[in-house]
Amino acid sequence: GDINKIKCTVVASDFSFLGSSIEGAEGEAILFAAAHAIENKTPLIIVAQGGGMRMQASMISLSQMPRATLAINEVKAAGLPYIVIMSDPVAGGITASYAMLGDIHIAGPGATVAFAGKRVISGTVKEELPVNFQTSEAVLEAGFIDRICHRKDLNEEIGKLLSILLKQNSISTEEINE
């Protein structure tokens, strides 16, 4: 598709299908999107969402983490921008692989961005965690994501970012920081 007249390759998760958990077919979709981006010299944008790898699939599912990571590395080696949009939630193996490899990370307001669940972490460290723990706002403050953006504003936001990353016009950093 196009974002502000910039051709892009975009792949998105669908939470309504098994919570967007990753198995072989989903991993292949990511690999295909990366190959398509490289072949067509387009930025790759992934809308990440889900709880992680599909545990019923065992090693087939877990093997998608390094496969996706290697595919993303190929996109980057080709000099193409890789933008990750974190929908709600993004957790587990999704966070541990392709979701945190972006050149730019954008999350929706209040989105959960985590590896392990809040209860698991609280039980492990034996401490009460802050109310906003693992929200996009807390993750932004910690420096793990770059922007928080409402869905309705994503087209404009991504268009500005791509213009800067691809040096296609004279958008200034002041405009992007508005």
- DSSP class per residue in 109-163: TT-BB-SS-HHHHHHHHTSPPPTTTTBHHHHHHTTS-SEE--GGGHHHHHHHHHH
- The model's pLDDT over 37-51, given as tens digits with 9 standing for 90+, comes to 999 999 999 999 887
Average pLDDT over residues 51-69: 79
Average pLDDT over residues 145-166: 94
Asked if the peptide bond before residue 81 counts as cis, ω within 30 degrees of 0, the response is: no
- The model's pLDDT over 108-132, given as tens digits with 9 standing for 90+, comes to 999 999 888 888 888 899 988 888 8
Quick one: which H or E segment has residue 84?
A: strand 82-90
* Residue 16 pLDDT: 74
Whether the full predicted model's pTM is greater than 0.95, yes or no, is no
* Residue 27 pLDDT: 84
Return the higher-pLDDT residue of 25 and 6.
6
